[in-house]
C-alpha cells in the first residue's frame, strides 16, 4: 500500500517516538461497539497497528434452529437476526421459500411488501445515523432520528401489531390486509420526511468537525471491497454500482424508478452521504408505490402444510445493510434440511481491519459505526 | 467595641469569611441546578421533556441525584494506588473552589481583591489538571490513563491560547485586579468584547477546551474511552470530579464575564432613562421584574400540578422568586446596597448566558479527534491569538500616542486580525500530504495473533 493520501490523520508520526505497543480491548461491554462486539486493538500510541474482531457473544444457533422447525415456524426467528431491520429479513426468507416452492406472492402483496421494506430501510438507516453521529460525539441527531423512526414503527405496529420484530410477511404473501388510512399515513410520513433529512444534514453534512472526523477515515477501495465480499452501502460508497434491487429485482422493485447513489472515495463520509441519499430514494419508492397499490388477493394458494420439493435455492435481497441471502436446502419434508444465512453485517465486518489499520483510536468507533453492524446478525 | 475589634476589621476579615462560606455552601447546589438546566435545555433542543418526575418539572432532581451519589458505594479498584486515588478528586475540587477567591461577583461580593487576581485564578485553575492526571494514573486502567494524558495535553495547549487572549484584555484594562478590570470597562464606557471581539472568541473556544466540554470533551469521550479519567471512580469521589468540572465552568465563565462582558455592570449602563417620573432608572427595574415574572410563571405551573406535594414544591419556588424580586426592588431604595445586589444579579445572569453557550455547543457539534484538537489549538488559535495581541497593542498605541479615536483604531486592528483568521483557515484546509508506511511494515494480524 505504498500510496500517498490527503489525510490529516496520518500527521502524528507516533512510530518515531518508539512508544511501547499496548493492547486495548474494546468491548464486549463498551458504549460504542453496538452490542457485544469485542475489538482487540494493538495500539502504537493512539494509532491502531492491528485489530481483530472477536464475535460470537450473541450466538443463538439460529441456523440450527431452522432444522427443527417447519418452514412457517422458522419465519419469526429470522426477525431476531437483524432486529433493527426485521421486515427486510422476513422478506428475504419468505421470498426464498416461495422460490423453493415455485410459488409467487400476488401483486398486491408484493407492492405492500416493497413499501414496508423501504420504510424499514429508512428506519434502519435512521438508527445507523443516530448512533453513528453519537459515536462521533453529536448528541442531538440521535433524538431527531428516533423521532422519525417512531413514526415508521407506529405504521408497523398498526399494520401487524409489533414494532421491532414484526413478522410482517408470511410465506406466500401477507397475513393481514393493510389497515384503513395506511396509504395516507405512509404518504404523510414520506412527505414530511424530506424536510427531516434536511434537518439532519444541516447538523452534519457541512459541519467542519463532522467533515474532519469522517473524510479520509476508514478508506476502503473498490478492489478491496469486492475482494472482501462487502455489499450494500459500504460497497456502493467505494464506487461500485451494485444493488440487488436493480441487478436482480425482487418484490415489486422492477416497477419503480430510483437511483443507486454511489460514492467516490470509499471513506466514512461517502458512506454517510450514500446512506442519506438512499433514504431519499427509499422515500421516492414509497411515494411511487403508495400511489398505485393493486387490488386483489394478498396470499398465494400454497396450502397449509409446506412440503417443498427436494432441492436447493439461494435468494438474496438488498437489505439495508447489504446483500442478505438465504440458502435453503429441502429434503422434501416439512422442515428445511439446512438454512444458511448470508448476513451482510457479518461479511461487512471483515473489512474492519482493512479500514482501521493506521487510523487513530477515535476513528475506530467511527469505523465501527460506519460499517453499520447489528450483532444479532453477525453472531446469529 | 469590645476586644478592640473595629468596624473596618469586620469588613476586612469577617466579610470574606462569610462570602467564602456562602460560596462553598451554595456552589454545589448551583452546580446541581446547572446540571438540571443542562438536561432541560438539551431535552428541549432534542424534542423531549427531560427530567419530569422528581418534583414538578424535575425541580428536585439535583437533590435526588446528590443523595444518590452520596449513598452509592465508593469503590477503590484493587490495583489502584489508594492514596493517590483518594487524593486526586480532592485536589481537583479544591483547586476549582480556590479560584473563586478572586472572582468578583459584584463590586462588594468578592472574597479578596488581589492585585494579581487574574494570574491567581489562571494559576489555580491550571493546578486542577493534577487532579485529573493523578486520578487517571492512580486508577491503573488503560482508559483512565489515556483520558488523563489527553486531558493534560489539551489543557497545556489551550491554556496558552486562553492566556494570550486574556493578555489583550489586560492591555485594554491596564490592570490584573479582577475588580480593576471591571472598573476600567466602566470608566472607558465600553465592554471589551466590543473592542477586542477576537480575544473573546479565542477565549470562548479555549475555555470550552480547558473545561473539557464538548466538542472538546476528549478526556471523557464516552464513545471511545468510556468515561476517561473518571472511569474507575464511583459514588462520592466521582461526584467531587463532577463538582469540580462544573465549578471550573463557572470560573471560566466568570473570567470571561469579568474581562469581556463588563462584569457586574448592567447592560447599557451608560443609558439613564426614567419613566413616569420615578426616581429609578428603567433598566434598574429589570431584575425585580424578571423575578416577579418568573414567580408569576411558576404560579401558573403550580396551579397545573396534579399532586399536592408537587403543588407545594412549585409554590416554594414561587416564594423564592418573590423574595428575590422583593430584594431586588427593595435594594433600589438603598444607594449603599443597590450596586452590590444588582451587581451580583447581573454577574450571575451573564455567567448563565455564557454557560448557555457551552450547552448549546455541546448539543450541536460532534467531537473533535485528538490530533484535530491539537491542530486547532496550535495552528489556528495560538497564531491568531498572537496576531490579535499585537494588533490590539498597535490599536492602543494608535489611540494613545497618535490620538486616533479608540473605535477607529480598534476597527482597523480587528480587520487585520480577521484577514489573518481567514488566511489561517485557508491554510488549515490545505491538505498536507503524508506518506503512509508501506503495508508490510505494519504487523499482520490473523485470528488469535494479538495477545
Task: Please answer whether residues B302 and B316 qualify as being in contact, where contact means their C-beta atoms are separated by less than 8 angstroms.
Answer: no
CA distances from A345 to A26, A55, A260, A323 (A): 18, 12, 20, 9
Query: Tens digits of per-residue pLDDT, B322-377?
Result: 888 888 878 777 776 777 777 888 888 888 899 888 888 888 888 887 778 888 88
State whether A49 and B444 contact (CB < 8 Å): no
What pLDDT, on the 0 to 100 scale, is given for residue B439? 45
Q: How far is CA B398 from the centre of its chain?
A: 33
Task: Please answer whether residues A163 and A156 qualify as being in contact, where contact means their C-beta atoms are separated by less than 8 angstroms.
Answer: yes
- Delimit the domains of chain A by residue range: 62-379
Least confident window among A184-198, A357-371, B214-228: B214-228
- Per cent of chain A over pLDDT 70 is 93
φ/ψ (deg, to 5) at A185? -65, -45
State whether B218 and A362 contact (CB < 8 Å): yes
What does the alpha-carbon distance between residue A269 and residue A267 come to, in Å, rounded to a whole number?
Answer: 5
pLDDT at A7 over 60: no
Number of residues in chain B: 451
Residue B430 touches chain A, beta carbons under 8 Å: no
CB count within 10 Å of CB B56 equals 24
Q: How far is CA A162 from the centre of its chain?
A: 20
pLDDT at A181 over 60: yes
Average pLDDT over residues B234-260: 85
CA–CA min distance A51, chain B (Å) = 7
Query: Tens digits of per-residue pLDDT, B367-409?
Result: 887 778 888 888 888 888 888 888 888 888 888 887 777 777 7
pLDDT at B264 over 60: yes
Q: Please tell me the pTM assigned to this model.
A: 0.79
pLDDT at A65 over 60: yes
What pLDDT, on the 0 to 100 scale, is given for residue B248? 86
What does the alpha-carbon distance between residue B257 and residue B261 come to, in Å, rounded to a whole number?
Answer: 4
Average pLDDT over residues A140-159: 89
Chain B residue whose CA is closest to A369: B223
Mean pLDDT of all residues belonging to chain A: 84
In chain B, what residues touch A365 (CB-CB under 8 Å)?
A: 223-224
- CB within 8 Å of chain B, chain A residues 213-232: 213
Residue bearing cell 429589570: B286
Query: Tens digits of per-residue pLDDT, B138-191?
Result: 887 777 887 788 788 888 888 888 888 888 888 888 888 888 888 888 887 788
Query: Taking CB atoms and an 8 Å cut-off, how many pairs form between chains A and B?
Result: 140
Greatest Cα-to-Cα distance within chain B, rounded to the nearest angstrom: 87
pLDDT at A47 over 50: yes
What does the alpha-carbon distance between residue B66 and residue B270 come to, in Å, rounded to a whole number?
Answer: 43
What does the alpha-carbon distance between residue A251 and residue A95 come to, in Å, rounded to a whole number?
Answer: 8
State whether B366 and A204 contact (CB < 8 Å): yes
- CB within 8 Å of chain A, chain B residues 207-266: 214-215, 217-218, 221-224, 226
Average pLDDT over residues B22-39: 85
pLDDT at B434 over 50: no
In chain A, what residues touch B47 (CB-CB under 8 Å)?
A: 143-144, 147
Residue A19 touches chain B, beta carbons under 8 Å: no
Nearest to B223 among A2, A31, A147 (CB): A31
φ/ψ (deg, to 5) at A40? -95, 125
What pLDDT, on the 0 to 100 scale, is given for residue A122? 92
- Per cent of chain B over pLDDT 70 is 86
pLDDT at B276 over 80: no
pLDDT at B448 over 80: no
Query: Tens digits of per-residue pLDDT, B37-89?
Result: 888 888 888 888 888 888 777 888 888 888 888 888 877 777 777 788 888 88
What does the alpha-carbon distance between residue B1 and residue B317 come to, in Å, rounded to a whole number?
Answer: 41
Q: Residue B3 is placed in which grid cell?
A: 476586644
Query: Tens digits of per-residue pLDDT, A272-324?
Result: 989 988 998 899 898 888 888 888 888 888 878 888 888 889 999 988 988 89
Task: Please answer whether residues B191 and B114 qualify as being in contact, where contact means their C-beta atoms are separated by less than 8 angstroms.
Answer: no
- Per cent of chain B over pLDDT 90 is 0
- Delimit the domains of chain B by residue range: 10-67, 72-269+350-429, 282-331
What does the alpha-carbon distance between residue B161 and residue B382 come to, in Å, rounded to a whole number?
Answer: 5
User: Strand, coil or helix: what is B369?
Assistant: coil
In chain B, what residues touch A30 (CB-CB under 8 Å)?
A: 226
Residue B30 touches chain A, beta carbons under 8 Å: no
Number of residues in chain A: 380
Give the H or E element holding residue B62.
helix B61-71
State whether B434 and A10 contact (CB < 8 Å): yes
Residue A23 touches chain B, beta carbons under 8 Å: yes
pLDDT at A8 over 70: no
What pLDDT, on the 0 to 100 scale, is given for residue A126? 92
Pick from A24, A209, A224, A361 the residue to mutate for testing the B interface (most B CBs within 10 Å).
A209
CATH tag for A62-379 (out of 3.20.20.70, 1.20.140.10, 3.40.50.2000, 1.10.645.10): 1.10.645.10
**Bond before A183 cis per omega within 30 degrees:** no
Give the H or E element holding residue A43.
strand A38-44
Sorting pLDDT into bands at 50, 70 and 90, what band is A327?
very high
Average pLDDT over residues A373-379: 84
What pLDDT, on the 0 to 100 scale, is given for residue B445? 45
pLDDT at A363 over 50: yes
Burial class (CB in 10 A: 0-12, 13-18, 19+), B326: middle
State whether A4 and B435 contact (CB < 8 Å): yes
In chain B, what residues touch A10 (CB-CB under 8 Å)?
A: 434, 436
Give the H or E element holding residue B349.
helix B338-364
Sorting pLDDT into bands at 50, 70 and 90, what band is B10?
low
Residue bearing cell 489555580: B124
State whether B449 and A358 contact (CB < 8 Å): no
Residue bearing cell 431452522: A66
The residue among A172, A162, A13, A194 whose CA lies nearest residue A80 is A162
State whether A362 and B369 contact (CB < 8 Å): yes
- CB within 8 Å of chain B, chain A residues 27-66: 30-32, 40, 42, 46, 49-52
What pLDDT, on the 0 to 100 scale, is given for residue A11? 40
Least confident window among A8-17, B295-304, B345-354, B376-385: A8-17
User: Is the complex ipTM more than 0.85?
Assistant: no
Q: Report which of residues B213 and B277 the model is more confident about.
A: B213
CA–CA min distance A87, chain B (Å) = 27
Nearest to B215 among A2, A7, A137 (CB): A137
Task: Please answer whether residues A268 and A218 qualify as being in contact, where contact means their C-beta atoms are separated by less than 8 angstroms.
Answer: yes
What pLDDT, on the 0 to 100 scale, is given for residue B61? 86
Which residue blocks in chain A are alpha helix, DSSP H? Answer: 14-17, 62-66, 71-78, 86-101, 107-136, 140-160, 182-204, 208-214, 222-227, 233-237, 244-247, 268-291, 344-348, 352-356, 361-371, 375-379
Sorting pLDDT into bands at 50, 70 and 90, what band is A15?
very low
Residue A4 touches chain B, beta carbons under 8 Å: yes
φ/ψ (deg, to 5) at B18? -65, -45
Q: How far is CA B167 from the centre of its chain?
A: 18
Q: Residue B10 is placed in which grid cell?
A: 469586620
Contacts of B337 by beta carbon, 8 Å cutoff, 6+ apart: B331
Mean pLDDT of all residues belonging to chain B: 79
What does the alpha-carbon distance between residue B298 and residue B328 come to, in Å, rounded to a whole number?
Answer: 18
Tell me whether strands A173-174 and A311-319 are parallel, antiparallel or unpaired: unpaired
Sorting pLDDT into bands at 50, 70 and 90, what band is B451?
very low
Nearest to B224 among A139, A212, A361 (CB): A361
φ/ψ (deg, to 5) at A167? 50, 55
Chain B residue whose CA is closest to A361: B224
Average pLDDT over residues A2-24: 48
pLDDT at B446 over 80: no
Amino acid at each position: 500500500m505504498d500510496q500517498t493520501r490527503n489525510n490529516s490523520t496520518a500527521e502524528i508520526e507516533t512510530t518515531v517516538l518508539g512508544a511501547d505497543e499496548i493492547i486495548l480491548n474494546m468491548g464486549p461491554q463498551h458504549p460504542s461497539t453496538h452490542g457485544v462486539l469485542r475489538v482487540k486493538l494493538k495500539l502504537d500510541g493512539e494509532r491502531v497497528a492491528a485489530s481483530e474482531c472477536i464475535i460470537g457473544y450473541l450466538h443463538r444457533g439460529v441456523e440450527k434452529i431452522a432444522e427443527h422447525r417447519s418452514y412457517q415456524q422458522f419465519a419469526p426467528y429470522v426477525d431476531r437476526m437483524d432486529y433493527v431491520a426485521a421486515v427486510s429479513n422476513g422478506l428475504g426468507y419468505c421470498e426464498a421459500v416461495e422460490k423453493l416452492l415455485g410459488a409467487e406472492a400476488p401483486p398486491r402483496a408484493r407492492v405492500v411488501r416493497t413499501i414496508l421494506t423501504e420504510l424499514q430501510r429508512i428506519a434502519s438507516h435512521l438508527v445507523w445515523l443516530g448512533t453513528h453521529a453519537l459515536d462521533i460525539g453529536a448528541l442531538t441527531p440521535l433524538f431527531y432520528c428516533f423521532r422519525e423512526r417512531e413514526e415508521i414503527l407506529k405504521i408497523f405496529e398498526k399494520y401487524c401489531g409489533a414494532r421491532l420484530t414484526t413478522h410482517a410477511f408470511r410465506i406466500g404473501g401477507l397475513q393481514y390486509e393493510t389497515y384503513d388510512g395506511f396509504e395516507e399515513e405512509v404518504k404523510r410520513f414520506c412527505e414530511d420526511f424530506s424536510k427531516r433529512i434536511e434537518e439532519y444534514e444541516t447538523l452534519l453534512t457541512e459541519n467542519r468537525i463532522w467533515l474532519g472526523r469522517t473524510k479520509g477515515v476508514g478508506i476502503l477501495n473498490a478492489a478491496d471491497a469486492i475482494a472482501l465480499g462487502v455489499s450494500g452501502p459500504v460497497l456502493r460508497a467505494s464506487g461500485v454500482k451494485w444493488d440487488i434491487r436493480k441487478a436482480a429485482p425482487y418484490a415489486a422493485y422492477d416497477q419503480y424508478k430510483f437511483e443507486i447513489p454511489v460514492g467516490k472515495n470509499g471513506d466514512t463520509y461517502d458512506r454517510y452521504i450514500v446512506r442519506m441519499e438512499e433514504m431519499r430514494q427509499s422515500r421516492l419508492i414509497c411515494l411511487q408505490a403508495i400511489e398505485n397499490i393493486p387490488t386483489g388477493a394478498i396470499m398465494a394458494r400454497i396450502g397449509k402444510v409446506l412440503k417443498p420439493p427436494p432441492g436447493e435455492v439461494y435468494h438474496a435481497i438488498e437489505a439495508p445493510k447489504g446483500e442478505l441471502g438465504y440458502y435453503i436446502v429441502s429434503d422434501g419434508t416439512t422442515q428445511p434440511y439446512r438454512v444458511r444465512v448470508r448476513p451482510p453485517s457479518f461479511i461487512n465486518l471483515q473489512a474492519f481491519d482493512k479500514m482501521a489499520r493506521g487510523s487513530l483510536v477515535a476513528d475506530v468507533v467511527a469505523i465501527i459505526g460506519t460499517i453499520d453492524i447489528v450483532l444479532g446478525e453477525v453472531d446469529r | 467595641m469590645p476586644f478592640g475589634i473595629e468596624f473596618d476589621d469586620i469588613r476586612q476579615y469577617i466579610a470574606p469569611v462569610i462570602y467564602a462560606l456562602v460560596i462553598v455552601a451554595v456552589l454545589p447546589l448551583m452546580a446541581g441546578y446547572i446540571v438540571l438546566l443542562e438536561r432541560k435545555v438539551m431535552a428541549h433542543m432534542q424534542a423531549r421533556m427531560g427530567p419530569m418526575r422528581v418534583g414538578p418539572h424535575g425541580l428536585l432532581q439535583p437533590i435526588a441525584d446528590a443523595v444518590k451519589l452520596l449513598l452509592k458505594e465508593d469503590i477503590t479498584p484493587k490495583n489502584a494506588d489508594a492514596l493517590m486515588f483518594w487524593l486526586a478528586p480532592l485536589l481537583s475540587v479544591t483547586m476549582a473552589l480556590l479560584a473563586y477567591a478572586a472572582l468578583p461577583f459584584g463590586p462588594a461580593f468578592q472574597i479578596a481583591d488581589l492585585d494579581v487576581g487574574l494570574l491567581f485564578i489562571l494559576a489555580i485553575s491550571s493546578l486542577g489538571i493534577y487532579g485529573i492526571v493523578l486520578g487517571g494514573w492512580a486508577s491503573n486502567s488503560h482508559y483512565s490513563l489515556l483520558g488523563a494524558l489527553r486531558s493534560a495535553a489539551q489543557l497545556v495547549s489551550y491554556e496558552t491560547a486562553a492566556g494570550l487572549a486574556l493578555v489583550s484584555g489586560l492591555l485594554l484594562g491596564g490592570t490584573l485586579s479582577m475588580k480593576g478590570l471591571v472598573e476600567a470597562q466602566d470608566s472607558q464606557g465600553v465592554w471589551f468584547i466590543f473592542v477586542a471581539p477576537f480575544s473573546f472568541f479565542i477565549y470562548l473556544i479555549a475555555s470550552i477546551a480547558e473545561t473539557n466540554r464538548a466538542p472538546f470533551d476528549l478526556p471523557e469521550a464516552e464513545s471511545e474511552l468510556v468515561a476517561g479519567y473518571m472511569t474507575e471512580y464511583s459514588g462520592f469521589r466521582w461526584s467531587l470530579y463532577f463538582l469540580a468540572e462544573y465549578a471550573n465552568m463557572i470560573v471560566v465563565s466568570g473570567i470571561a464575564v469579568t474581562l469581556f462582558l463588563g462584569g457586574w455592570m448592567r447592560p447599557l449602563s451608560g443609558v439613564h432613562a426614567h419613566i413616569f417620573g420615578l426616581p429609578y432608572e428603567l433598566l434598574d427595574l429589570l431584575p425585580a421584574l424578571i423575578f416577579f415574572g418568573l414567580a408569576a410563571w411558576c404560579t401558573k405551573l403550580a396551579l397545573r400540578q396534579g399532586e399536592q406535594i408537587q403543588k407545594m414544591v412549585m409554590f416554594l419556588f414561587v416564594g423564592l422568586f418573590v423574595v428575590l424580586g422583593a430584594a431586588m426592588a427593595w435594594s433600589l431604595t438603598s444607594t449603599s446596597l443597590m450596586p452590590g445586589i444588582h451587581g451580583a444579579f447581573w454577574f450571575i445572569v451573564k455567567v448563565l448566558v455564557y454557560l448557555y453557550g457551552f450547552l448549546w455547543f455541546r448539543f450541536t457539534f460532534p467531537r473533535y479527534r485528538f490530533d484535530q484538537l491539537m491542530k486547532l489549538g496550535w495552528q489556528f488559535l495560538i497564531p491568531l491569538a498572537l496576531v490579535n495581541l499585537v494588533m490590539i497593542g498597535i490599536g492602543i498605541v494608535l489611540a494613545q500616542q497618535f490620538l486616533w479615536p479608540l473605535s477607529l483604531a480598534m476597527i482597523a486592528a480587528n480587520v487585520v486580525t480577521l484577514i489573518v483568521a481567514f488566511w489561517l483557515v485557508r491554510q488549515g484546509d490545505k491538505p498536507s500530504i503524508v506518506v503512509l508506511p508501506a503495508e508490510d511494515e505494519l504487523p499482520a494480524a490473523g485470528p488469535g495473533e494479538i495477545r
